[in-house]
Amino acid sequence: MIYLSVRNQILQALRAELEGSDRVHAFWEQGSTAMGRADQFSDLDLQVLVEAGGTEEAQERIERALRSVGEIDLQFVVPQPSWHGHWQAFYRLAGVSPYLLVDIVVMEATSNNRFLEPEIHGTPSVIFDRAGVVTQAPTDAAEFAKRLTKRLDLLAVPAELFYLFVGKELRRGREVDALSFYQSAILPRLVEALRTRYCPWRYNFGLRYLQYDLPAPVYAQVRDLVYVAEPAELTEKTERAMAILREAVAALRAMDLVDHLERSR
C-alpha cells in the first residue's frame, strides 16, 4: 500500500507539472504496467511527448515535480545522442523504495519512434493525451519479417565460427576467456533464435522477460545453460547450446515469417 501511495504521488506530481504546459502534448506509462505485470518492485517507465524544442522545459518541470515528492538523491541523464534519439533520465528519490526509480523519456513530436508498437511494448497507460497521439496501428508484419530474415545469418554463422573458441581457451587453461566466449558469442545468439521462434516481435529483448516469452520447457533449458558453476561444465553446455541454436535456426528458415508474426500478435 505504501508503494502504491508513493507511486501515485509521483505520477500526480508529474501530471500537474506537465499538464501545466501547452508545449506538452501527452504523458503516459509503459513498462511493466503496459504489460500487466507491475508489482512492488516495478519502477516507473514514463514517456512524455512535447512539441519541437520543448524538451528543456519538460526536463525542468519533471525535476520540479519530483522534488515536490522528495529529494533527488541520485540521477543519471543518458548521454546525447542517445540510441533512440530522445532525452532520457533516471531518478532515485530519497526516502522512497530504491526499486521505484523514475525512468522518463521526453520525445519531440517530430519523432515517429515513440515505443508504441503494441506487439512489442503492450498497452500504454495514458495519463493525459491532448490530441489522441498515444496510439499506433499494428506493426507491419511483412516489413518486420525482413528484419528477422537478415538476422538469421547473423545468428548462425558467427556462432559456428566462434563456438570452438570456448574449447580452445579451456585447453589453454584460460577459463575466464572460455566463459567470455560462451557468454558473448553463443548465449546471446541462442536466446535471440529462441525468441524469434517463440516471441518474434521481441526477438531483441535478450535475457529479459524470458520466463514470460518462452514456453516453460524451453525457458528451463535456457536457464540451465545460463548458469555455469565450473569450467568443466562449459564444453557440454556449449555443445548443447549449439544444438538448440542450430535446430531453432533451421525451424525458422522453414517458416513463413510473416505468418509466424501474424500468429504471434
Query: pLDDT by residue (tens digit) across 185-232?
Result: 999 999 999 999 999 999 999 999 999 999 999 999 999 999 999 999
Q: Which CATH number fits domain 2-129: 3.30.1050.10, 3.30.460.10, 2.60.40.1120, 3.60.130.10?
A: 3.30.460.10
Sheet with strand 24-29: strands edge to edge: 72-77, 87-93, 102-108, 44-50, 24-29, 125-129
Instruction: Give residue 151's Cα distance to chain centre.
Output: 18
| CA–centroid distance for 102 within its chain | 16
- Are 6 and 100 in contact by the 8 Å Cβ rule? The answer is yes
Helix (H) or strand (E) holding 45: strand 44-50
Question: In the prediction, which pLDDT does 1 show?
Answer: 45
Q: Each residue's pLDDT tens digit in the chain (265 positions)?
A: 456 799 999 999 999 999 999 999 999 999 999 999 999 999 999 999 999 999 999 999 999 999 999 999 999 999 999 999 999 999 999 999 999 999 999 999 999 889 999 999 999 999 999 989 999 889 999 999 999 999 998 999 999 999 999 999 999 999 999 999 999 999 999 999 999 999 999 999 999 999 999 999 999 999 999 999 999 999 999 999 999 999 999 999 999 999 999 999 9
Domain boundaries, the chain: 2-129, 141-263
pTM of the model: 0.91
- Return the amino acid letter for 97: S
The Cβ of residue 76 has, within 10 Å, a number of other Cβ atoms equal to 12
* Residue type for position 200: P
Residue 62 burial by Cβ neighbours in a 10 Å radius (0-12, 13-18, 19+) = buried
The conformation of residue 182, written as its DSSP 8-state character, comes to I
